[in-house]
Amino acid sequence: MLAPPPRNWVYFLNSAAEELRHSAQISARRTHYVVESSVVVRGESVASMVAGAELTRLFCDSPIAGLNDVLLAGSSQHLQYANAAQRDHLAAVSAKEFSAGATTRAVIIPIRKNAAWWRLAHDERLAFFNPSPGKEGHTTIGERYAGRIFRQLLHARYDAAKPPYDFVTYFEFNEADTSAFTALLGELRDETLNPEWRYVEMEQEFWLRKVG
Ligand code: HEM
């Protein structure tokens, strides 16, 4: 029998809080960032990160109870919309995580979809990810960029803490591909190419340097 896909819990905290309170007790892979900027794209701000602040990501195999200083958090899940061919194609072509360094950028985008999205049946939601006459859809758009942009999708909608976002999306790329990343965002947000985005009611970007 195949092993189930790994599950991970990911927490973004401000680095000072992480060092003071948690570092001794917690077993996690730690990654360090410096915040460059943040932009509210739609809806309200759900987290505050000021330019120049240091951020730590805890990447864990199990949830951590009682963390106080979490700015954003989510966990990985099984696929819901990619079919087997898309899954295999994306696995073959997708960029791997980048090493920390002066030219490595990371962007975190928490997203919330509206009540109308969550009322849709599975087949209705699935249809938004694939092409149909007049639209490309999320997966087709994303496939064009997958080789240059490392991505990780985290879910938060059913977390006990009830955060004000459904997803925490995380991306890495080489600084030279910044314009490709902004083009990708533009295409996903183009509601003709990708009508799924009509259902997005909150979206905020955090631009970072991955430093360690
Ligand atoms: C880098 C290229 C990208 C590719 C190849 C890609 C591909 C995909 C695929 C295949 C899924 C469905 C996963 C499943 O089966 O459950 C998905 C979900 C999702 N992606 Fe992307 N994506 C890309 C970029 C982005 C970007 C830039 C954003 C945010 C601005 C984003 C936000 C999301 C969200 C929020 C979901 C979950 C949607 C839901 O479950 O309702 N993706 N993506």
Contact 10, 59 (CB under 8 A): yes
Cα 81 to averaged position of ligand 1 atoms, centre (Å):
9
Helix or strand holding residue 140 (H, E): helix 138-143
Give residue 2's pLDDT. 62
Average pLDDT of the chain, as a whole number: 94
φ, ψ for residue 20 (rounded to 5)?
A: -65, -40
> Please, which residues have CB within 8 angstroms of residue 110's CB and are 6 or more apart in sequence?
46, 47, 72, 156, 163, 165, 167, 168, 169, 202, 203, 204
Contact 82, 139 (CB under 8 A): yes
Strand-pairing partners, residue 107, are: 171, 207
Q: What is the pLDDT of residues 20-44, one digit of tens each?
A: 666 656 789 999 999 999 999 999 9
Full DSSP string of 45-70: ------TT-EEEEEEESS--TT-S-E
* pLDDT band of 88, cuts 50, 70, 90: very high
Does residue 169 have its Cβ closer than 6 Å to ligand 1?
yes
Does residue 79 have its Cβ closer than 6 Å to ligand 1?
yes
Q: What is the pLDDT of residues 144-203, one digit of tens each?
A: 999 999 999 999 999 999 999 999 999 999 999 999 999 999 999 999 999 999 999 999
pTM: 0.96
Q: What is the pLDDT of residues 92-118, one digit of tens each?
A: 999 999 999 999 999 999 999 999 999
Task: Tell which wins on pLDDT, 89 or 17.
Answer: 89
Instruction: Report the share of the chain in percent with pLDDT over 90.
Output: 88
Does residue 98 have its Cβ closer than 6 Å to ligand 1?
no
How many Cβ atoms sit within 10 Å of the Cβ of residue 63? 14
Does residue 112 have its Cβ closer than 6 Å to ligand 1?
no
Pocket test for ligand 1, best of 109, 169, 198 (most atoms within 8 A of CB): 169
Does residue 128 have its Cβ closer than 6 Å to ligand 1?
no
Does residue 167 have its Cβ closer than 6 Å to ligand 1?
yes
Pocket test for ligand 1, best of 153, 189, 196, 198 (most atoms within 8 A of CB): 153
Q: What is the Cα–Cα distance from 70 to 166, expressed in whole angstroms?
A: 16
DSSP 89: H
